[in-house]
C-alpha cells in the first residue's frame, strides 16, 4: 500500500441505504481521474445463511466490475453470525480487532482505499469494529450514506455528526423522491451545510436501482418456472395483486409498468388481463397449474410465469421485501449507478476534503 494512501470509510445510518452502490460509483469516478483504488470490508453483516460465500460473491463482483487486482481488494475481515457473537459475549473471543483491522487495511494497495462499513453506525461494537472505532483504528475519513426520510433525515444526520465528530467528511442523501427534490435541495442541503455537514451527493429515486430481477424473485420464492426461463433477467419495477374482478384489474394493471402480478393459479381471467399489460412476471399462488392457454399466451409474449406453494399474502410480502434490497449485480444497475453518481456527486469536493493529490491532465 502506498504511504500516501487515503482511507474512506463508507458508512450508513441504517441498512440498505446504498453503501455498495456508492462505492461502485465512486470507484468509477476515481478511476476516471486515474486514481488507483482499493476495496475492503472490515465487518460484513446482514448476509444470508451462507454468509462467507455471499460476502465473497459481493467482493468478487466489485473487484471484477472495477478491474481490481488481488492486491487491491480483500474479502471481509469478519462476517457476523450468531455463533461468533455468542463466543464474544461469553468471553471466548478476546481478540483485539482494532489491531487486526489495521493489519487488514495495510494489505490493500491503492491511493484511495474504500472501506465498506457495517449496516449502521454502532453494529460491530462488541468487536470494537463499529464505524467510529474502525475509523479511529485506521485514521479514516467517513462518508455517510443516508436514505431520504422527510421527517427523520435531518435529526439522524445531526446525531451522526455528534457521534462521528470531525471524521465525518461528508454525506450522500440517497433515494430522494421527485416531489421532495426542491425541499431537499433548497432547504435541507443549506441547513446541513450550515451545521458543518458537507452534502457531497444528492441522488434521486431511480426505478432501475429499486427494481429486482425475475430470477431473484424466483429464488426468494423457491418458485417453479413454468415458461420463458430465458427471460429471468428481466427487471421488475412494481408489484400488483390480482384479487379483484377483471374489469377493475385491467384499469389497475394499466397504471403500472414492468410489474410482477401475483394472483391465484385458478384466476384465469386475471392472468390473461395481466399478460395483456406491462407485465414482466406472472406469479401464480397455491401451486395450481394454469390453463394451457395462459402458458401459450405467456410464451408468445415472452413473459415468465412462476408457480409457488405460498399463499398470496405471503408471496406479496416476500416480493415486496426484495425491492431496493438486492445486490447490484445486474449490468443495467451498474450502468445506472455510474450515470447517477457522475451527475449528482461532487467528486472534486471529496478529493479536496481528503487532501488527495490528483495528476493534472496536460
Q: What tens digit of pLDDT does each residue of 243-297 get?
A: 666 667 666 677 778 999 999 888 888 888 889 888 999 999 988 889 999 999 9
- CATH 3.40.50.300, the chain: domain bounds: 6-209+328-354
Share of the chain above pLDDT 90, in %: 66
Q: What cell was used for 182?
A: 426542491
Q: Which fold has domain 212-320?
A: 3.40.1390
Beta bridge partners of 171: 144, 199
In this predicted model, what pLDDT tens digit does every residue of 117-139 receive, in sequence order?
999 999 999 999 999 999 999 99
For residue 329, give every residue at least 6 positions away whose Cβ sits within 8 Å of its Cβ, in sequence order, or none: 61
Residue-level pLDDT at 273: 87
Which of the 8 DSSP states describes residue 73?
Answer: B
∠ CA 120-121-122, rounded to 5°:
100
d(CA 234, CA 222): 18
CATH 3.40.50.1950 at 6-209+328-354, yes or no:
no
Q: Stretch 19-23: mean pLDDT, rounded?
A: 94
Which of the 8 DSSP states describes residue 185?
Answer: I
In this predicted model, what pLDDT tens digit does every residue of 284-341 receive, in sequence order?
998 888 999 999 999 999 999 999 998 888 999 999 988 877 778 888 899 999 999 9
Residue-level pLDDT at 45: 76
- CATH 3.40.1390.20, the chain: domain bounds: 212-320
Residue-level pLDDT at 57: 76
In this predicted model, what pLDDT tens digit does every residue of 190-208 receive, in sequence order?
999 999 999 999 999 998 8
Residue 285 — φ and ψ, nearest 5°? -95, 165
Residue-level pLDDT at 49: 42
Amino acid at each position: 500500500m502506498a504511504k500516501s494512501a487515503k482511507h474512506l470509510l463508507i458508512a450508513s445510518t441504517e441498512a440498505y441505504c446504498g453503501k455498495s452502490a456508492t462505492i461502485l460509483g465512486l470507484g468509477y469516478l476515481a478511476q476516471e481521474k486515474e486514481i488507483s483504488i482499493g476495496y475492503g470490508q472490515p465487518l460484513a453483516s446482514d448476509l444470508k445463511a451462507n454468509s462467507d460465500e455471499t460476502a465473497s460473491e459481493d467482493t468478487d463482483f466489485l473487484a471484477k466490475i472495477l478491474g481490481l487486482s488481488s492486491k487491491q481488494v480483500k474479502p471481509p475481515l469478519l462476517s457476523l453470525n450468531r455463533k461468533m457473537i455468542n463466543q464474544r459475549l461469553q468471553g471466548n473471543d478476546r481478540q483485539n480487532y482494532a489491531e487486526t483491522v489495521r493489519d487488514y487495511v495495510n494489505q490493500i494497495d491503492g491511493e484511495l482505499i474504500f472501506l465498506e462499513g457495517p449496516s449502521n453506525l454502532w453494529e460491530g461494537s462488541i468487536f470494537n469494529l463499529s464505524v467510529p472505532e474502525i475509523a479511529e483504528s485506521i485514521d479514516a475519513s467517513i462518508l455517510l450514506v443516508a436514505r431520504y426520510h422527510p421527517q427523520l433525515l435531518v435529526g439522524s444526520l445531526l446525531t451522526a455528526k455528534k457521534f462521528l465528530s470531525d471524521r465525518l467528511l461528508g454525506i450522500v442523501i440517497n433515494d430522494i423522491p421527485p416531489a421532495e427534490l426542491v425541499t431537499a435541495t433548497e432547504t435541507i442541503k443549506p441547513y446541513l451545510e450550515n451545521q458543518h455537514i458537507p452534502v457531497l451527493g444528492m441522488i434521486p429515486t431511480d426505478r432501475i436501482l429499486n427494481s429486482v430481477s425475475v430470477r431473484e424473485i424466483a429464488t426468494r420464492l423457491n418458485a417453479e418456472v413454468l415458461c420463458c426461463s430465458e427471460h429471468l433477467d428481466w427487471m421488475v419495477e412494481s408489484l400488483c395483486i390480482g384479487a379483484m374482478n377483471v374489469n377493475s384489474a385491467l384499469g389497475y394493471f394499466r397504471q403500472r409498468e414492468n410489474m410482477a402480478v401475483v394472483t391465484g393459479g385458478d384466476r384465469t381471467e386475471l392472468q390473461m388481463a395481466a399478460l395483456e399489460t406491462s407485465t414482466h412476471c406472472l406469479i401464480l399462488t397455491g401451486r395450481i397449474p394454469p390453463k394451457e392457454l395462459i402458458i401459450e399466451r405467456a410464451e408468445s409474449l415472452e413473459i415468465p410465469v412462476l408457480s409457488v406453494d405460498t399463499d398470496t399474502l405471503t408471496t406479496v410480502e416476500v416480493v415486496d421485501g426484495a425491492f431496493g434490497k438486492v445486490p447490484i449485480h445486474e449490468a443495467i444497475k451498474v450502468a445506472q449507478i455510474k450515470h447517477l453518481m457522475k451527475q449528482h456527486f461532487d467528486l472534486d469536493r471529496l478529493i479536496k476534503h481528503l487532501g488527495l493529490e490528483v495528476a493534472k491532465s496536460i
